[in-house]
Amino acid sequence: MSLSEAFSPEAWAVLSGPLRLTSMDLRDTQRSVRARALLDGQVCAQVLEQLGPVIGSPTSAITASLLAKRFSFLATGACLYAMSACDKGLLLSLDNVVVEYAHDDGLWTSSMPLADDNLYGYRAGEREAWREAIVRSLFAGLLAPLWEVFHQVSGVSRRILWDNTAVRVYSLYEKRMAKLEDPQVRQRAEADFHWLMHEADPALFGLSYNPLAHFRRDPTLLPDGKSIRFRRTCCFYYQASNPVEYCAACPLLRPKKLNALRST
């Protein structure tokens, strides 16, 4: 059974559309590399060197940050949406994932190809263990080793890489999955997000702390009455944009005098 057949048409429209999930045979062969291959420092350095001029990045550290930000969106989006919105398991791992770095006309066009498109379910009463296995594979198994080699090769801060990851997860649950129509599905997603934020063991992330909880900031109330949850670190997007642009939640835009709203 193909990925498209394994999900409902509505779910697949999201996964294959904005979340860019696809199969291995549709990968961009010219602008992609097996995730495990990136653990080789020379391979990683070559990818960053090739990508830097394409995205207008002046340093390998900035290139690594922006590639990590994009890959975090693809990996966490496909995996966690399938888990929480569809109750289906995609095991993302170093051997199952291809890292695409396609970027055209100023925009990322990369997708999330999977070599193994099997879905993993669970028996009655075993969802918590199933959820832990999926999250461990995604974060500790895939992202943690990639971020470590990105740090070693480019010098980019580990904090920036994990903040890049955290903000993608926040957005996925608070914006995309908060709009799920089925109240039971939405409740399941809310429960998964609460667990990820407050109960997931740091070992599931391959760290001594839970990065989703660590990088969470309360929203900031702005003079116009709007509120923004500013990041804790800067991803350096502004240094690779021309003309200069800032992410909406860039900490460099955070007012010095502000009122923090308590998170609900």
Output the DSSP codes for 47-64. HHHHHHHHHT-SSHHHHH
Check: CB of residue 35 under 8 Å from CB of residue 97: yes
Burial class of residue 36, CB neighbours in 10 A (0-12, 13-18, 19+): middle
Q: Which two tokens stand for residue 50?
A: 């090739």
Query: How far is residue 125's CA from residue 203's CA, in Å, rounded to a whole number?
Result: 23
> In the prediction, which pLDDT does 162 show?
98
For all residues of the chain together, what is the average pLDDT?
93
Q: In the prediction, which pLDDT does 222 show?
A: 80
Give the pLDDT confidence score for residue 223 in this predicted structure. 79
pTM (2 d.p.): 0.93
DSSP labels for the chain? --HHHHS-HHHHHHHHTTT-EEEGGGS-TTSEEETGGGGSHHHHHHHHHHHHHHHT-SSHHHHHHHHHHHHHHHHHHHHHHHHHHS--B----TTTBEEE--EETTEE---EEES----B---TT-HHHHHHHHHHIIIIIIIHHHHHHHHHHH---HHHHHHHHHHHHHHIIIIIGGG-SSHHHHHHHHHHHHHHHHTS-GGGGTSSS-HHHHT----EE-TTS-EE---SS---GGGG-SS----TT-GGGS-SS-EEPPP-
Q: What is the pLDDT of residue 1?
A: 62
Name the pLDDT band for 261 (thresholds 50, 70, 90).
very low
Give per-residue pLDDT as tens, 145-177: 999 999 999 999 999 999 999 999 999 999 999
> 193-219, pLDDT tens digit by residue?
999 999 999 999 999 999 999 999 888
Rounded CA gap, 73 and 20, in Å?
Answer: 10
The string over 248-264, giving b where at least 16 C-beta atoms fall within 10 Å of a residue's C-beta and e elsewhere, is: ebbeebeeeeeeeeeee
